[in-house]
Copies of this chain bind each other. A is one copy, B any other.
Amino acid sequence: MAIRLTDVADEAGVSLATASRVLNGSARKPAEEISEKVRAAAQKLGYFPNAQAQALARASTKLIGLVVHDIADPYFSSIARGVQKGIQANGIQLLLTSTGGEADREALAVRAFMSHRTDAIILSGSRRFSEDHELAELLESYQTNGGQVAMIGQPFPATGGIQLDNEGAASELAGELLKAGHRRFVVLAGNPDYMTAKHRADGFTGKLKRSGVPVETALYGAFSREGGYLAMGDYLDQAESQETANQICVFCVSDVMALGAIRAIRERGLRIPEDVAIAGFDDIPTLGDVTPSISTARLPLEEIGRLAGEMVVAHSNSKLVVMTGTPVLRESTER
């Protein structure tokens, strides 16, 4: 069906070896005259190297795998964009899988990437406290076989990647909120089985406790927009009956949760920030489009993705970069 290198060689009247040497950067450069003939033949025939065959003959596939929870989530799509930027230009292609955050699908994705012999795997999305054992094992065997691994969030000790200082950033954010005069805090803590969610909630509540202004309520739920919406709604409905939901400041462990929470708040006719103040975490691009502007702990998501991409192409495997977030207060927490 497709044109093979053999066809090009025949057309040019040279051997397969020569054709290979001129068309794909080899150490040995055939004579210019011959090279030209080969290039002409390739051009004429519309030759495309078969990446599979090349991968088989060479060691590398020029493929890297990226696994995220949900590509439609701005958090992950920002990272994905960064990764693309980090690896592009090297002629590397990106294999993408969304797992929905399920541990078994994550392992499945890694397995698939291993099958495809991707040169590297970048894992985004939070680790869980429970049963990541299989994943760790897979990645370890992947690494011993020469694969590059970078995790974004809480890298395994053995893998390296980009560690996000969730706890620190959340703590700083709490400090800023205190300075701004807030005294009554509620935390939408998401799913505490996710390390990301837990660290952020802990960082926030820890700082407050140390400051003598403990969090009044911590609410758990899904680590998603829907989760934020439901948790916030439940709280408000219950608080309303007790007339307690006034002048509170709600910290959501992610911006998407905050977005959901905002919806719940608005549906109940409450104003932001007059009635309830709210802050998120991540600073996803979407925030630029909502009013009032939302306070958050800023993570340079695209930059993080780019860095991860660059790390794996540079083969700096077990390197660990710590990325810290910076609190940014905006209208949603003004008082």
Interface residues of chain A, those whose CB is within 8 Å of chain B, are 1-2, 46, 48-53, 55-56, 61, 63, 70-72, 74, 77-78, 80-81, 84, 91, 93-98, 111-112, 114-117, 141, 145-146, 259, 262-263, 266, 285-286, 288-291, 302
Contact = CB atoms under 8 A, between A and B. Distances in A.
Contacts of A51: 115-117
B56 A53 contact: yes
Contact of A291 (B78, B98, B266, B302): B266
Given A71-B71, A72-B302, A48 B114 contact: yes
B286 A49 contact: no
Task: Determine how many copies of this chain the complex contains.
Answer: 2
A293 to B, nearest CB: 10
A72 B68 CA distance: 13
Contacts of A94: 95-97
A111 B51 CA distance: 11
A145 B290 contact: no
A263 B285 contact: no
B48 A52 contact: no
A81 B91 contact: no
A203 to B, nearest CB: 25
Contact of A84 (B98, B116, B263): B98
Given A56-B53, A56-B56, A291-B291, A146 B84 contact: no
A6 B212 CA distance: 66
Contacts of A145: 1-2
A302 B70 CA distance: 13
Given A84-B98, A289-B290, 17 more contacts: A48-B114, A50-B115, A52-B55, A52-B61, A52-B117, A63-B116, A71-B77, A71-B81, A72-B78, A81-B98, A84-B96, A93-B97, A93-B112, A94-B97, A259-B289, A263-B288, A286-B286
